[in-house]
Amino acid sequence: MRRILIIMLLPLMLAVGCKHKTETPAEGALYVRYASLPETSVAQVCGFQLCDTVSVDVVLLQAESDEAWQRMKNEFAIVDSIGVTSWLADTEEPATRVKWEGQPLLRIIASHDKQAIGLYRLDSEEQYDALVDYQLNKMTNDK
């Protein structure tokens, strides 16, 4: 009898465990907005792990031509033409520069060499701190 109970309980645990672990993240509004840009590869990395407990969603845009890169620069109001440009932005208007005041926002990093832009969505202070720590730790380890 006890064995039958175990057999009935285990598949239930399995089902609950799988449901919890395999919930598929959805495509975000930002990805959908940029996915149709011409000559641009666009991706959304869901749950990019910054540390053991914190992850963020990242939308990446990579221009496939100089013209596409110029269009992206115009779209995001990027005036520099060398190195890396980064700023904090409004989640609805990525070209709008904002300051961190605890609200959800985007950390945007544009690389002229790679002709690519990364939009890291930060919904909490924990994510903001983890992103800064991730950059500092990686830079320290690379030295």
Partner 1 sequence: MDIMNEKQFEELWVKAEAESHAEKLAAEYPVWRQKTRRTLSMAAGVALVLAVATPIAMSPSATGNYNKVYCNRAGIQDQQWVNLADELLMEG
User: Binding residues for partner 1, per CB under 8 A?
Assistant: 3-4, 6-7, 10-11, 13-14, 17-18, 20-22, 24-25, 27, 31, 35-36, 41-49, 55, 58, 60, 62, 84, 86, 107, 109, 111, 114, 116-118, 120, 131, 134-135, 138-139, 142
Instruction: Give least dist CB 101 to partner 1, A.
Output: 20
Q: Are the CB atoms for 98 and 122 separated by under 8 Å?
A: no
In the complex with partner 1, which residue's Cβ is closer, 35 or 70?
35
Which tokens hold the place of 117? 């832009």
Instruction: Give least dist CB 17 to partner 1, A.
Output: 4
Listed residue (114, 127, 133, 141) closest to 54, CA to CA: 127
Give me the count of residues in the chain.
143
Instruction: Give least dist CB 92 to partner 1, A.
Output: 20
C-alpha distances in Å from residue 117, one per residue of 23, 41, 78, 85? 27, 11, 11, 9
